[in-house]
Each structure stands twice: as C-alpha cells, then as structure tokens.
Amino acid sequence: MTGTRALRIWSKVHTWTSLISMLFMLMLCLTGLPLIFHEEIEELTQQQFAAPNLPGNVPAAPVDDVVRAAQQARPGDHVLFVTWRDEQPDTVVVSMSPTPKPMRGKFYRLVMDGRTKAVLGEERPQQGVMDIILLLHKNMLLELPGELFLGAMGLLLVVSIVSGVVVYAPFMRRLDFGTVRQRSRRLKWLDLHNLFGIVTTVWLFVVGITGAINTLAMPMYDYWRGQVLPPLLAPYRGAPVAQPSSLDQAVARVRAAMPEGRLSSITMPTAENFGSPRHLVVWMKGNSALTALIATPTLVDVDQTVPVLVPQMPWYLTLLQMSRPLHFGDYGGLPLKIVWGLLDLVCIVVLITGLYLWVAKQRFGGHARSRTATQPAEVQSTDARPA
C-alpha cells in the first residue's frame, strides 16, 4: 500500500468520499450532539411524566385495569401498544390512536401510573424541537428514501475512514505521533486533522457503520414481517380483529415459557402489519446487560388455550438491535453520553479541518507543501494530501 501510485489513488478516494459525505456528516454530527442527551433534555423540558412517590410499597395494578383506565380517559380511541420503561418502573405507557392504523403525528402515548391507574400525562410524538432534530438526523424529513440515502452516506464515511488511515502513514513518516506544527495555518490544520482523525478512527467507524445498519431498520422489519410472520399467521390472515384478551394472563403465559425475560411491550391485536388480528405480541428482553438489548416477540393467541408461538429472531434483526446502543451511546449512563458528545465534537473538528485543507489546496495549489522541510519522502505529489 506504499507505492506512490497506489497512495495517490487512496488519497483521491479519501478526498472524494469525504467531500461527498461531508455536509451530511456535519449535519449528522451537529444534530447527533443534542440527541445523545435527548433523555436529559426531555426531562428538563417537561416531556416526561414521572409517577409520584407513594407512601409504603404500593403493588402494581393488573395491566388490564390500567389499559381500561386509559381507554376511559380517551373513549373511542384504539390502544396499539402497551410499553414498560426501565427507567420508570412505576409507569405503564399506553400508545393510542384515533385510527386503527397510526397516522403520523396523530397518535400519542398516555403515561399511566401502573399502581393507581391515574393518567400522569400525554406524550405527543413529532411535535417538539427534539423530534424534528431526530427526524433530520434520521432521514432529513424525507422518510425512507432519506433514511436510505443517509445510510449510503454512512458507507461513504466508512470508505473515507479506511482510506484516511492508509494516507495517514506517509504524513507521519518523519513526524512523531501527535505532532502539531504551528509554522503555518495549513500545517497546523493538517496535523490537527491527522491527529484528531486517527484517535477517533475506531469510534467513528463503529458509530458510522451502526448508523448505516440502523437506516435499514424499516426494510429489515418489513422483510421479517413479510417472510417470517406470514407462515405463522397464515391461518389468521384477514380474520376480524379479535377482542384483546387478558394482558395479565398473556404475560403470565410468556413468563412461564421464558422465565428469564423482562417485559418490554405488548402489541394489541390489529389488522395492521405490525401485529396479528388474533394475537397479543408480547415483547420480552433479556435480563443481563447484553441480552437486555435484544427484544424477542412471542405471539399469544387471544384464545388463551392455544400454545404460544415464538418466532425465531433472524440474525439481521439481532444485528440491528445490537447496533442501536453502539450508535446512540446510551448504554453506559450519563458519563458515557458526555464522552460520546466529546468524541462527536472531535469528529466535527476533523470534518471542518478536512474541508479547510481541501479548500486551501484548491486556492494555493500544492506550493505550500514544498516549503516544508519535513515533507514525507514518499509523497512528492501534492495529490496525496487528505482533504
């Protein structure tokens, strides 16, 4: 990889993959920064509804009663999901919608006190600034095409990282690690670009590639729903949507089958393709730090006498679920989020210095290089400067 010709090609690859993905990456880094702290920000801006501290040890009410209370609060609306949150053990979140198929911006989440059945508050999706930032970050407000486009940019980023590591070597032939020369602005920014880039390589690579995997979430789930669920649900297809049976009974049956798991959410019977007309889908996650990242669905027939169906989770959904925390940085408490934010800032510097170096090269050509005494012998060509 050290031939001058090969190096020049690598350098061109680095320049162009970086330039093309540059603006999008900058947008992703900037919108990603507040998103790292979205939980903390939401806590500050009221969006979270906490259960009050009750004297004594008040036991959880039956889930069926909680859901009934939610329905009484919003008569006529459809219950779509019931969700439990790790960070709010005393609450039950009931997602509801005026239509059987949830419409964008129309459905909402009732946060219920899981013990007293009181409505604590109503979360409306896609209303606040944070939701808009999230959509920008996810798909630039362009839904699936935007999401897939950003995924492609993520792959370009990966190519740009790999080529960046390759062209790092010739620059450092005569420099010690971490040297930041101050002789000219060009050299200073070049050295900063190299230093900041090389120390964040592994982190950015992981965040980039897991981000690209995340952009495939929708197609992956669609494929799974289209390939794995239909054979299981074939006998029920087109059946009228059944009255949901007891959630508590369904949970108990799933618990019996998977005693290790923790309850994550329940999808109510539905004609829509995220569930089944005749089943409650009970999502359980594992108990350990690692298995808690992976949710497994179990189908419980509304006629509670039929054995539960446990569809095999395919490898690509496991990969997807594993890649989420590694992209979000939300799996190690607030200190990890802060470090994640700092790494993000370092990457913003890499992006901006990279752009500066490219612009400077266009303006002044390669002459600045030949003035430097520490010019790497292998790179006589001015093309081999990372941009």
Partner 1 sequence: MSKPRRASHTTAQIFAAPLAIGVITALGLTTALLGDGLWDWISWIALALPVAVAVVYWQIGVKRAEPR
Choices 9-17, 77-85, 107-115, 324-332 (CB under 8 A): range interacting with partner 1:
324-332
Residues in binding contact with partner 1, number by CB under 8 A: 46
What's the rounded Cα separation, in Å, for the pair 134 and 96?
A: 21
Phi, psi of 310 (to 5 degrees): -115, 100
Task: Determine if 319 is a binding residue for partner 1 (CB under 8 A).
Answer: no
**339 is a site residue for partner 1 (CB under 8 A):** yes
Give yes or no for a contact between 376 and 179, defined as CB atoms under 8 angstroms apart: no
**DSSP H helix total and E strand total for the chain:** 12, 7
Planar angle of CA 15, 17, 20, nearest 5 degrees:
100
Member of 23, 129, 202, 252 binding partner 1 (CB under 8 A): 202
Cα within 13 Å of Cα(193), Cβ side: 26
CB of 290 to partner 1, least distance (A): 6
Q: How far is the CB of 249 from partner 1 (least distance, A)?
A: 33
Tokens representing residue 308 in the block:
């539960």
87 binds partner 1 per the rule CB under 8 A: no
Q: Among 239, 290, 306, 359, which residue interacts with partner 1 (rule: CB under 8 A)?
A: 290
**Under rule CB under 8 A, residue 4 binds partner 1:** no
> Is residue 103 involved in binding partner 1 (CB under 8 A)?
no
What does residue 301 show for φ and ψ, rounded to 5 degrees? -65, 140
Applying CB under 8 A, among 168, 221, 224, 356 the residue interacting with partner 1 is: 168
Residue 154 half-sphere exposure toward CB, CA atoms < 13 A: 25
Q: Which of 340, 345, 276, 283 is nearest to 306 (CA)?
A: 276
| Cβ distance to partner 1 smaller for residue 208 or 275 | 208
Residue 262 bridge partners (DSSP):
285
Can you tell me the distance from the alpha carbon of 351 to that of 27, in angstroms, rounded to the nearest whole number?
11
Choose the stretch contacting partner 1; rule: CB under 8 A; options: 97-105, 146-154, 171-179, 235-243: 171-179
CA atoms within 13 A on the CB side of 31: 19
Shortest reach from residue 209's CB to partner 1, in Å: 12
Nearer to partner 1, 337 or 361 (CB): 337
Chain residues that interact with partner 1, rule: CB under 8 A: 2, 165, 168-169, 172-175, 177-183, 188, 191-192, 195-196, 198-203, 206, 288-290, 293, 325-326, 331-333, 335-336, 339-340, 342-343, 346, 373-374, 377
